[in-house]
Amino acid sequence: MKEITNLRKRFSKTLDIGGGKRRVELSGRPRHYRDPSDGSWKDIDTTPQETGGGQFKPVAVQQLLNIGPGPAYRYHTKGGRPLIVALLGGRDVVPVIEDKSVVFHDIFPDTDYVMIPLEEGCATFLRLKSAAAPREWQWLTTGATDLLQPIVGRDASGRDTELQKELRGSKLSVVWSGRVAHRNDLRDGTGYADDAVYPVLIDPTVNEAIVASADDRLESMAMGGLYTDSTFLSAGVYNNAVNHVGWRFQVVDVPQGATINSAEFSIYQLEKVGTPVVTMYGCDEDDSVVWSASVKPTTVPKTTASTVLNSGWASGAGLRTLDVTDIVQEIVDRPGWAANNDMSLVMMGPASGSGHNRYGMADYSHATQQEGRLSIDYTAGGGGGGFAFSQGVVFG
């Protein structure tokens, strides 16, 4: 298996898999950047490397990103706008590289500050290791502050933190009350509780790839409203509320009527709680449209073919897969289907339920784990190939 480098695109690789067949692997995350010296596409490598003087930068990305003392980072957007974000008041500690991250250990009592270079941006979070960690923080922000994602927090059980946030001039202040709640607790009036499970993560991230396009952002209808501030997808029953998940895969280059030899959905499972009851369907339409308040898993037409998952995935965290061959075959057999149309899959929870019986999965904006992807091997005409796509949103 050998890559055909002249067929690289920003989001895809094309491989020669032998026998006259090709496989295209496409992700919602950028995989290549354009080399300004010769116009060729180069592999992105976000692994941080030390450049001297306590400074770090990723091995190979198009946008300039420097991480350094402060701790702070400087990022230059695709449009050339600078953004500087500095955490204030921390101890003077020497950062270390851990896998794909730059970590400032014990920057505050029982608190680590973690920076993860992204393809287009920088994921950062405070990791509070115990109740002894402080609950107030300030950042100095200058430049393209519109790229900052909404600051969110979550404890180890997946509950949201109660945060107060204020941006006054260039100073961003965040205060955590110490309380946490599931979104349903807020909706039904139960409210926040004082039983946070540590570690707790407070996350002010910049991701230009998500901000730049509505197709690249998380859209959630869980808890009765649209929100874009989660890295966590829940399918099944989440705190007495049924949740469904939808993924839209763009520019699926499989011809109408092709024979689908295999199709596999994969995603990183963060946790499995109880005994979920979920089934995967396809959206039975020629060209899927963007998810919205009126276009969601409960409203789109569904394929006759389905894959019953229920509690079939193992417990714990790890990469999980699901066979969706019959679903994809039904979609590409539609008379109106055409190569390069968009295709959607939906993971539906039960009609009703109570308690917690669900899968927690990583979405596109998750900094460290794989989002939903779709791989398709097909035969058409006398040739064939394979494709992999990535995109995800959650509804409930």
For tokens 């230009």, the residue is: 208
Report for 17-31, 218-232, 237-251, 329-343: range of highest mean pLDDT: 329-343
Q: Tell me the residue type at 179.
A: R
- pLDDT: which is higher, 232 or 51: 51
Other residues' Cβ atoms within 10 Å of the Cβ of residue 66: 17
So what's the pLDDT on residue 114? 94
- pLDDT: which is higher, 182 or 45: 45
Per-residue model confidence as pLDDT tens digits over 43-88: 999 999 999 888 999 999 877 889 998 899 998 877 788 889 999 9
Report for 76-85, 98-107, 288-297, 377-386: range of highest mean pLDDT: 98-107
Per-residue model confidence as pLDDT tens digits over 251-302: 777 889 888 888 888 888 888 989 999 999 999 999 998 888 788 888 899 9
**Percent of the chain having pLDDT more than 70?**
83
Q: Indicate the range of 86-100, 115-129, 215-229, 357-371 predicted with least confidence.
A: 215-229
Rounded Cα gap, residues 211 and 122, in angstroms: 13
